[in-house]
């Protein structure tokens, strides 16, 4: 019997509260062992971990690479696999490999299979894929079933074809199907964070509002505590609410800290839209059980008659090269808004003598406006600045050519009032130009309307 079938059977035969462990909100950045072991000692019914996010930007998705280091990712996966198999409980992982497209999922699965081989583990592995078939997307686009939101331009067929990867965030349905089918370990591509933890209790009929609210909180491990952190959290779920307790005794889940977690990375603290409904937190209540445990009740679930899947896609826009340099000359700093474009114009005339102007060159001047999106108009000039140059060009060679030429001409650019005629820039090391590889941008961030929001996410079963 598989772990998911056993847990479902147990609780169906003798109804009792469920215990769920949120092991990590970013698997691959470390799962502290003492809290993980404390969680296992509480005889949990499942372990879940989120492995990805869109926050990391478009390049990981487009390039098909994980954001986390392979050795650290393997250490975390090994810890969770050994713990879940020792207790014979389901391990559920969502958004595999940081961005959850095919290459990320394959890299994650290769690590899982190798750990199983080395550790002599045998289990039934469920795999859920999140890659969106292009013909399906073209059909949906033609039928008016792909909608822009948050000010994104409308999707075009050209953008679909030009995407390196397009994934959809899967809801709880595909996870429910896999867990009902019977698996020991479930690894999914791009997923809603909530799906990881909501699927198993929803199969057991726990109220969906409470289940989704719990899932949304524990997918971030102990981030909802004071002090917040990455230690495992334990949720104990019943038919009226759930209790939260960090598995690190130093972290306290208080009514205010747990309520405040609804703010985190969300535009609306009172609600959350998911593929097949929305979570309404207007009547949520948070009560202290003691100084480090909080009980949560009151969330409501509003099923949607028009399910939607959030699509995420990334498109390659060229190859990137950067320049790292500093400056401390007050005249250079005072005149940089004229100097930088003037040097760029000199470079353009040189590198475009026999080639089109096929690149973009931008500068960020740290100390002035390198970070803030809207710096105030008047501030005292800084004593030093850091100048980050960036070129995006059709090839790595072209990007390097433009960046190297820019370095030289910016170093020696003459400007009115200049005293430092031997050079305008300080290089921390040489070469100061770095080729950083392909550059991507998000070109798909749209909602796909589908009558059955579970249908694009196939389940595969593998026995290890």
CA atoms within 13 A on the CB side of 364: 12
Eight-class DSSP state of 133: P
The answer to whether the CB of 241 falls within 8 A of the CB of 297 is yes
Phi first, then psi: give them for residue 267, nearest 5 degrees: -85, -15
| Residue with Cβ nearer other proteins (206 or 445) | 445
In this complex, which beta carbon is closest to other proteins, that of residue 122 or of residue 337? 337
Of residues 291 and 354, the one with the C-beta less far from other proteins? 291
Q: Can you tell me whether residue 44 is helix, strand or coil?
A: coil
Q: How far is the CB of 437 from other proteins (least distance, A)?
A: 14
Q: How far is CA 369 from the centre of its chain?
A: 27
Given the rule CB under 8 A, which residues bind other proteins? 54-59, 150-152, 255-256, 259-270, 284, 286, 317, 360, 362, 364, 370-374, 376, 390, 392, 439-442, 445
CB of 420 to other proteins, least distance (A): 28
- Give alpha helix (H) positions in 352-423: 396-411
Cis ω for the linkage preceding 227 (within 30 of 0): yes
> Per the omega criterion (within 30 degrees of 0), is the bond before 107 cis?
no
- Least Å distance, CB 260 to other proteins, is 4
* Rounded distance between C-alpha atoms, residue 102 and residue 306, angstroms: 27
Instruction: Compare residues 151 and 356 and give the one whose CB is closer to other proteins.
Output: 151
To other proteins, the closest distance from the beta carbon of 267 in angstroms equals 4
Which pairing describes strands 46-50 and 18-24: parallel, antiparallel, or unpaired?
A: parallel
Between 376 and 383, name the residue whose CB sits nearer to other proteins: 376
Min CB(1)–other proteins separation in Å: 41
CB of 441 to other proteins, least distance (A): 5
Are the C-beta atoms of 462 and 343 separated by less than 8 Å?
no
What distance in Å separates the CA atoms of residue 333 and residue 383, rounded to the nearest whole number? 8
Q: Which residues contact 29 (CB under 8 A, 6 or more apart)?
A: 68, 72, 76, 230
Cα–Cα distance measured from residue 148 to residue 205, given in angstroms and rounded to the nearest whole number:
34
**Which lies closer to other proteins via its Cβ, residue 90 or residue 171?**
171
Nearest residue (CB) to other proteins, 158 versus 268: 268
CB of 63 to other proteins, least distance (A): 12
């Amino acid at each position: 019997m598989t772990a998911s079938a056993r847990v479902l059977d147990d609780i169906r035969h003798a109804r009792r509260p469920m215990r769920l462990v949120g092991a990590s909100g970013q698997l691959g950045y470390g799962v502290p062992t003492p809290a993980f072991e404390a969680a296992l000692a509480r005889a949990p019914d499942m372990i879940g971990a989120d492995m990805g996010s869109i926050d990391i930007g478009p390049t990981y998705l487009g390039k098909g690479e994980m954001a986390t280091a392979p050795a650290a990712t393997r250490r975390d996966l090994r810890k969770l696999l050994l713990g879940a198999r020792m207790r014979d409980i389901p391990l559920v992982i969502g958004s595999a490999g940081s961005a959850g497209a095919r290459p990320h999922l394959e890299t994650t699965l290769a690590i899982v299979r190798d750990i199983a081989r080395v550790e002599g583990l045998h289990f039934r592995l469920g795999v859920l894929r999140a890659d969106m078939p292009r013909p399906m997307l073209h059909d949906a686009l033609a039928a008016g079933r792909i909608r822009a939101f948050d000010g994104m331009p409308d999707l075009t067929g050209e953008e679909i074809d030009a995407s390196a990867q397009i994934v959809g965030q899967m809801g709880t349905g595909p996870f429910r199907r896999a867990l009902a089918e019977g698996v020991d370990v479930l690894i999914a591509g791009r997923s809603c964070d909530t799906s990881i933890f909501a699927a198993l209790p929803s199969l057991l009929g726990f109220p969906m509002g409470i289940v989704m609210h719990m899932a949304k909180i524990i997918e971030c491990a102990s981030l909802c505590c004071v002090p917040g952190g990455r230690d495992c959290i334990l949720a104990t779920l019943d038919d009226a609410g759930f209790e939260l307790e960090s598995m690190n005794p130093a972290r306290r889940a208080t009514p205010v800290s747990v309520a405040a977690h609804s703010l985190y990375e969300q535009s609306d603290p009172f609600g959350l839209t998911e593929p097949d409904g929305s979570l309404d937190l207007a009547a949520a209540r948070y009560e202290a059980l003691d100084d480090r445990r909080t009980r949560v009740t009151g969330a409501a679930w509003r099923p949607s008659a028009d399910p939607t899947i959030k699509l995420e896609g990334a498109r390659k826009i060229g190859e990137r090269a950067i320049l790292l340099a500093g400056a401390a000359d007050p005249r250079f700093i005072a005149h940089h808004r004229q100097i930088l474009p003037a040097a760029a114009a000199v470079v353009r005339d040189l590198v475009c003598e026999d080639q089109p102007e096929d690149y973009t060159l931008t500068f960020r001047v740290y100390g002035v406006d390198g970070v803030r999106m809207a710096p105030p108009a008047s501030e005292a000039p800084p004593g030093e600045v850091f100048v980050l140059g960036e070129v995006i060009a059709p090839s790595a060679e072209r990007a390097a050519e433009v960046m190297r030429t820019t370095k030289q001409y910016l170093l020696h650019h003459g400007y009115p009032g200049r005293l430092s005629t031997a050079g305008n820039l300080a290089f921390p090391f040489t070469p100061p130009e770095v080729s950083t590889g392909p550059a991507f941008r998000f070109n798909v961030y749209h909602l796909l309307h589908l009558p059955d929001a579970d249908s694009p996410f196939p389940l595969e079963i593998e026995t290890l």
